[in-house]
Amino acid sequence: MTTSSPAPRPPADPGGWLARFHAQHLPDYSPASTRLWWAIALSGALALGIALDAFLGWPAERQMQVVGALALVVTAALLSLQLPRTSFSFSIADAFNFTLLVMYGPAAAVLGAGAEGLVGTMRTSRRLSSRVASPAAAMASWSLAGAAHAGLAALLVVSNLPPAVAEVLALLLASLVTYVGTTLPLMAMMTLKRQQWPAPRSWLNGTAWVGGVYIGSALLAAMAWLLARQHGAGLMALLGVAVLGVLALVRVTLAHQEAEHARQEQCIDEARREAELNQQRFSAAFTHAAVGMAIADAQGRLLRVNQALATLVQAPEGTLPGRTMLDLLHPADHAVFERKTLEMKAHARNDFALELRCRTPTGGDTWVMMHCGRFADPGGEGNALIYQLHDVSARRAAEARLQHIAYHDNLTGLANRARFHEQLEGAVERSLVDPQVYFAVMFLDLDRFKIVNDSLGHEAGNLMLREVARRLQSCVRPSDLVARLGGDEFAVMLLGLQDSADGLRLARRMLAELMQPMPVCGTELVPGASLGITFSDLGYRTVDELLRDADVAMYEAKAGGRGRVAIFDRTMHERIAYRLALEADLRRALAEQQLSLVYQPLYEIEGGRLTGFEALARWHHPVRGAVSPAEFIALAEESGHIETLTTWLIGQAVAQMAQWHRLAPHLAQASMHLNLSGRDLVRSDIVDTVRDALQRHGLPPARLTLEITETVLMERLDLALETVRRLRELGVRLSIDDFGTGYSSLSYLGTLPIDSLKIDRSFVMRMEQQPESIEIVRAVVTLGHALGKRVIAEGVETAAQLEQLRQLGADEAQGYLLSRPVTAAEVPRLLYAPALA
């Protein structure tokens, strides 16, 4: 039965040793299990103290005997035997302990139990809580068992039993006390730790074999004691050493046999698995092959066919085995097929290939490329044949359209890369002969095509590409050529230009046309594009040079903020080279985890309480030094590495916040803030990424706040709404960052599932010089509170700014006045620091 025990609360003094001990060693213990752990530990300590006091009072000779016996106990514990191919182990240390009890009394047995328990837990657990609890429970239970043994032995002797019989019977009964005292408290503690009540039946079912081991050990000790009474303690010591030697030899033998057995089993499993995989691979390749396949015997009868062949000849798969390949071919092709087959057999050739026709039940023909090969029949009946038939009807039918396909894009109807390359090559040749020939080449790339494809699907992307092609075609002159080079890349060749201004006007007209909204699958989208242009007067001699420089100019336009035109100049090569090198370094930095995080604290304005941290990525390049986050984050978005960066950032920040929660439970309401980019908002797996990080590190979703820049949110609102809704359902908090710098729609702001607004630092920093900035901040605070949102101010650098924000009613603040960004190592000093004044 489960309980609803509340989570343990730290002591009043958050810096006390007890709180630190709990946080470090008992963080996952419930209050009940924590109390039981302390009871076990103190009981064990008490038993150990009594035993040591008794030991120190013994004569030196008795002490030396007990020390030698304890050495045997420790050795026996170290020589426990793992039963082959089971999860159980066997040890005779308990037999030595019971011998200590019957020969030297409870104090010696308690010391032996503590030594055995410590050795066992040192091998099985690294937690201090386990290394204390197990030996302590053992010592406490053996102390009780010793008292029970003495009392029972005296009682049984009074009952007129022979002393030897009374001693043995008392020892066996004491073993039950040891069994209960050792296992029951520990199992109860583990059950309470899981916030469940201990169940006696579960305890008995799970530990009955332990009780059997204790009874058997007590019986062995009794036999050893009886031998010692008859032949002296020296014989018992000799037997103990001999038994340990036998155990050591058996342990070595078992270990060797287990290793050899494991090696043999691994070899057998690997061979069996490889054979099965090979069979499965062949069956899968044969069954699911996209081409028709058939296996025939030496006489040509089909033994096995795949579904692709049945589909090819339009016949049920089960009707084909038993027939011959001639039955499937057009009669006009029988002669050539038989001739090729005879040639293969006569000249000992292994295969042949030819094109022929398969006859379908409806009387139609399907052209196929047939490949026939020979292989040795595993059944021993000679050479078998394997046929592969690939449908080439489409190729045959397409030959009539080959010229058009070779030079046009099927999707848009524009010229394709080959056609553009051919026409541009002619223009270059003419310009080399006649310097008066002046033309330009544009390279154009859509800015948001990947987002459309990922969020709305390829059909929507195709619709957008067709509309873009139509708009580009409408902007150019009859002498110009528009081509789609592939994906969302277009090129335009402008012929007969008077000067570069003509080309620039056409380029701007194209961008303006592409900035007009277009309806796609029920959503109004703005394609947008970045355009690079280069002119023939730069002395180009090859087409590749022209396209390269137009492409370089396009990337320069994209890097400058998109939706721009860039004219190529010679310095662009250096800038592109720098960005490409930096992109390669960024990719390497992400793979090798060279990036790091710093954390800027957030504080309540009223009260100065620490409320959380904002995670900020930093990159210290080994050669270039510190790289600005604005530069490498923009580069990550442009190069497609932002998803990897965001995934890493989420994992690191969530793990760090979960660690600080465990370190400072009194700050359980503190949250971690981190930023999402525009690409993150339309990622299909962003919600799963956040959920996996929270579950993996055990951080409550409400303790994570994702910040979305206002401009980015509103630009991608239609595409981001579903992601924002799913994140909110997950329990994550959401905040609009840089509020006031974009163009928020109040109608959306009232319905968006956000928790807070973050006032842009530019307004906060200008409050002392520009009164209108105060009014803007006041309006944002009033608006946020009216909508039930918390208002956070960033960029607070002076006490006057903080006081002004307090008077305006802002809720939280961050900035250099309160704290600069700190490393993870510096955060613990803030967790227990007093609230800011």
* Structural domains of the chain in order of their starting residue, each with its CATH number: 29-231 (1.10.1760.20), 289-399 (3.30.450.20), 408-570 (3.30.70.270), 586-825 (3.20.20.450)
Is 710 within 8 Å of 700 (Cβ atoms)? no
> Which pLDDT belongs to residue 244?
56
Residue burial 339-352, b: 16+ Cβ < 10 Å; e: rest: ebbeebeeeeeeeb
Half-sphere exposure of 103 (CA within 13 A, CB side): 28
Q: What is the mean pLDDT of the chain?
A: 81
519, containing H or E segment: strand 518-520
Query: Residue 439: which region, alpha, beta or left (left: phi > 0; alpha: psi -120 to 50)?
Result: beta
Query: Residue 803: which region, alpha, beta or left (left: phi > 0; alpha: psi -120 to 50)?
Result: alpha
Q: Which stretch of 325-334, 401-410, 527-536 has the lowest confidence by average pLDDT?
A: 401-410
Residue 801 has pLDDT above 80, yes or no: yes
- Tens digit of each residue's pLDDT (9 = 90 or more) over 541-585: 788 888 888 888 888 888 777 778 888 887 777 777 777 788 888
> Long-range contact list for 203-208, CB < 8 A, 24+ apart?
207/179, 207/183
- Tens digit of each residue's pLDDT (9 = 90 or more) over 225-279: 776 666 655 555 565 565 655 555 555 555 666 667 677 777 777 777 876 777 7
H runs (alpha helix) in 566-715: 572-591, 629-639, 642-663, 678-681, 686-697, 710-715
> Which pLDDT belongs to residue 716?
64
Q: How confident is the model at residue 11 (pLDDT cuts 50, 70, 90)?
A: very low
Cα 536 to chain center, whole Å? Answer: 51
Tokens of 591: 């793979």
Q: Is residue 513 helix, strand or coil? A: helix
The number of residues making up the chain comes to: 837
Is 175 within 8 Å of 218 (Cβ atoms)? yes
> Which pLDDT belongs to residue 199?
73
> Which pLDDT belongs to residue 613?
96
Count other C-beta atoms under 10 Å from residue 203's C-beta: 17
Query: What residues have CB less than 8 Å from 441, skipping those under 6 apart?
Result: 424, 491, 492, 493, 494, 533, 534, 546, 547, 550
- Tens digit of each residue's pLDDT (9 = 90 or more) over 348-403: 777 888 888 888 887 778 888 888 888 777 665 667 888 888 888 887 777 656 76
In eight-state DSSP terms, residue 355 is E
Residue burial 625-658, b: 16+ Cβ < 10 Å; e: rest: eebeeeebbebbbbeebbbebbbebbbbbbebbb
Is 651 within 8 Å of 615 (Cβ atoms)? no
Is 547 within 8 Å of 444 (Cβ atoms)? no
pTM of the model: 0.44
Query: What residues have CB less than 8 Å from 252, skipping those under 6 apart?
Result: none
> Which pLDDT belongs to residue 483?
93
CA proximity to 140, closest of 89, 96, 106: 106
Q: How far apart are CA 821 and CA 671, in angstroms?
A: 16
Q: How far apart are CA 499 and CA 509, in angstroms?
A: 16
